């Protein structure tokens, strides 16, 4: 159970990316950060995951329990790096092996079955499709059992149908964690999030979402209306910026 | 012409073509056999001198293999140390570059002076010559871990040693193979230079003797045996590289 509070100005080099960030990311459920490319979404992902970069937060990133975040955040990015020389079980258990712990192979087999890759355990990543590779990366996150999971445009490289299937799978398997979804896809944001913000240079605007359960049905009128509203907001923010 | 696409018949055909050309040149030009012997003469010399050649070839092969093994062990160990420790990089890298700037072949006479006419001086020359390409190729490979895998190691809280052996080393194996290819090409040079400079055995010594006595056909026969050794080494390396993939 780890809620996060992120406040302050985010800098990249000498340029201020986002001023007056104020995000409360609760311990359970999906928080979505939307925004156009270049706004600083991936920088926030690296900040929360504790990865090095040229960024600086003039403010604070604080877990609710006050303990250090290191080791409690897992991240799934667009092209998750799998080890080309290792089979799927070895790929899923790499975290334990890197820390010098005994890898739990039975659990890796169970998780690979849960993400729909039963029977492929001895394959190498090169023998998988893009969607299957992201499934392996998802299993690798699940085995780490981190309370905070950052998804940085995790399904953007996939075709539409595979993307919908992966969204449903992720929603099912990551339940009960603090999931931070970073995306530029309005439908993805509306389907999966419990709360969402639109990021811009002047901070984060809270967005309205339907009251229904996630993952939301993509034919439901409430979902479609929310998606259309979101598109309008994104479009508006981009035209405002071009005019300004 | 489908049989031509297989490597073995193609190699044989190329070899046959080269030998035929050589034989024709010898016939047409009428070069005396002590300047350029015909392939047939070389073949006869190979047959007649087989016991002598075998004896010298064994000595050369021993130097070659021990030198290669030592160079690979030292090179790999140095690269691993450099990759693991920034202090080692600070201390050792300038020394390595300096060592590379010294042509090791030029040290052959000194090494013979220090280590004598036996196998030791040849082994050390081979080791020194291949040490740098192995170290350099493997170290470059180790340091070229893709950023996404660096992130993975950081997020998984990898220990430096496990990061090295579980991510960097597998990633660097193709680079090490390139270094080994260079080593296998350089090593026969090195061993022959060593045997030329001062030796009483080995194919290099035999070539020098044969040349001095006008036995050019024997010299070419020794050359053929040396080339065969290089090719066998190369074939073994390629076989290993294929297995690793």
The reported pLDDT for the residue numbered B103 is 81
Find the CB nearest B163 among A70, A83, A98: A98
- CB contacts, 8 Å: A97 with chain B: 162, 166
Query: Measured between CB atoms, does B46 come within 8 Å of chain A?
Result: no
Upper half-sphere CA count for residue A92 (Cβ side, 13 Å): 29
| Residue ranges in chain A modelled with pLDDT below 50 | 244
The reported pLDDT for the residue numbered B219 is 92
CA angle A86-A89-A94, nearest 5°? 70
Alpha-carbon gap: B236 to the closest alpha carbon of chain A (Å): 22
Which class for A17: exposed (0-12), middle (13-18), buried (19 or more C-beta within 10 A)?
buried
- A99, B159: Cβ pair inside 8 Å? yes
**What chain A residue is nearest to B244 in terms of C-alpha separation?**
A85
Backbone angles phi, psi at A97, to 5 degrees: -65, -35
**What chain B residue is nearest to A93 in terms of C-alpha separation?**
B156
Find the CB nearest B166 among A49, A97, A144: A97
Chain A segment 80-139 residues within 8 A of B by beta carbon are 80-81, 83, 85-86, 94-95, 97-100
User: Which one is predicted more confidently, B245 or A180?
Assistant: A180
The reported pLDDT for the residue numbered A242 is 55
Preceding omega of A215 cis (within 30 degrees of 0) = yes
User: Which one is predicted more confidently, B9 or A187?
Assistant: A187
Per-residue pLDDT at B3 exceeds 70: no
pTM: 0.84
Query: Measured between CB atoms, does A199 come within 8 Å of chain B?
Result: no
The reported pLDDT for the residue numbered B166 is 95
The interface pTM score, or ipTM, of the predicted complex is 0.86
Work out the angle between the directed axes of helices B169-197 and B119-143 (0-180°, nearest 10): 160
What contacts A1, CB < 8 A, 6 or more positions away?
A27, A28, A64, A65, A147
- CB contacts, 8 Å: B146 with chain A: 81
Query: Measured between CB atoms, does A60 come within 8 Å of chain B?
Result: no
- B154, A50: Cβ pair inside 8 Å? yes
The reported pLDDT for the residue numbered A244 is 43
Chain B segment 116-175 residues within 8 A of A by beta carbon are 146, 148-149, 151-159, 162-163, 166-167, 170, 173
Query: Measured between CB atoms, does A1 come within 8 Å of chain B?
Result: no
- CB contacts, 8 Å: B162 with chain A: 97-100
Query: Measured between CB atoms, does A49 come within 8 Å of chain B?
Result: yes
Alpha-carbon gap: B172 to the closest alpha carbon of chain A (Å): 11
End-to-end CA distance of chain A: 42
The reported pLDDT for the residue numbered B54 is 94
Upper half-sphere CA count for residue B234 (Cβ side, 13 Å): 11
A233/A205 Cα distance (integer angstroms) = 10
**What chain A residue is nearest to B161 in terms of C-alpha separation?**
A98
The reported pLDDT for the residue numbered B6 is 75
Average pLDDT over every residue of B26-47: 87
The reported pLDDT for the residue numbered A201 is 86
Q: Tens of pLDDT along B172-228?
A: 999 999 999 999 999 998 999 999 888 889 999 999 999 888 888 999 999 999 999
Q: Tens of pLDDT along B74-85?
A: 999 999 999 999
Q: Tens of pLDDT along B82-114?
A: 999 988 888 888 888 887 788 877 888 888 889
């Amino acid at each position: 159970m780890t809620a996060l509070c992120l406040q302050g100005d985010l800098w990249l080099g000498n340029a201020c990316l986002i001023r007056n960030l104020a995000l409360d990311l609760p311990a359970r459920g999906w928080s979505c950060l939307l925004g156009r490319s270049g706004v600083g979404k991936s920088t926030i992902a690296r900040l929360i995951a504790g990865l090095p970069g040229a960024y600086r937060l003039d403010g604070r990133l604080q877990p609710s329990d006050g303990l250090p975040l290191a080791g409690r955040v897992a991240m799934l990015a667009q092209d998750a790096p799998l080890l080309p020389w290792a089979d799927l079980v070895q790929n899923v258990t790499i975290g334990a092996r890197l820390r010098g712990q005994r890898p739990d192979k039975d659990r890796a087999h169970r998780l690979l079955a849960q993400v729909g890759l039963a029977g492929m355990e001895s394959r190498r990543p090169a023998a998988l499709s893009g969607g299957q590779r992201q499934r392996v990366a998802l299993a690798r996150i699940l085995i780490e059992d981190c309370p905070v999971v950052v998804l940085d445009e995790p399904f953007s490289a996939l075709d539409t149908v595979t993307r919908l299937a992966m969204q449903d799978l992720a929603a099912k398997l990551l339940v009960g964690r603090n999931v931070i979804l970073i995306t530029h896809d309005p439908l993805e944001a509306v389907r999966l999030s419990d709360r969402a913000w639109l990021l811009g240079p002047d901070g984060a605007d809270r967005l309205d979402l339907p009251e229904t359960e996630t993952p939301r049905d993509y034919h439901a009128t409430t979902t479609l209306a929310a998606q259309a509203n979101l598109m309008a907001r994104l479009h508006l923010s981009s035209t405002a910026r071009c005019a300004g | 012409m489908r049989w031509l696409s297989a490597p073995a018949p193609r190699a044989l055909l190329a070899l046959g073509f080269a030998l035929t050309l050589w034989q024709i040149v010898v016939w047409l030009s009428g070069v005396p056999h002590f300047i350029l012997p015909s392939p047939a003469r070389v073949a006869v010399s190979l047959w007649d001198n087989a016991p002598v050649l075998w004896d010298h070839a064994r000595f050369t092969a021993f130097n070659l293999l021990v030198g290669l093994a030592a160079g690979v062990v030292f090179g790999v160990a140095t690269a691993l140390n450099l990759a693991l420790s920034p202090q080692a990089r600070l201390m050792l890298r300038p020394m390595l570059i300096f060592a590379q700037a010294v042509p090791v072949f030029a040290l052959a006479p000194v090494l013979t002076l220090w280590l004598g006419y036996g196998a030791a001086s040849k082994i050390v020359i081979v080791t020194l010559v291949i040490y740098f390409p192995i170290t350099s190729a493997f170290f470059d490979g180790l340091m070229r871990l893709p950023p996404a895998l660096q992130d993975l190691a950081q997020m998984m809280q990898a220990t430096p040693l496990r990061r090295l052996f579980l991510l960097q080393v597998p990633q660097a194996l193709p680079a090490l193979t390139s270094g080994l290819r260079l080593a296998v090409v350089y090593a026969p040079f090195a061993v022959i230079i060593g045997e030329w400079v001062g030796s009483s055995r080995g194919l290099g010594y035999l070539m020098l003797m044969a040349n001095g006595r006008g036995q050019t056909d024997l010299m070419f026969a020794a050359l053929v045996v040396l080339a065969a050794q290089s090719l066998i080494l190369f074939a073994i390396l390629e076989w290993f590289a294929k297995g690793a993939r």
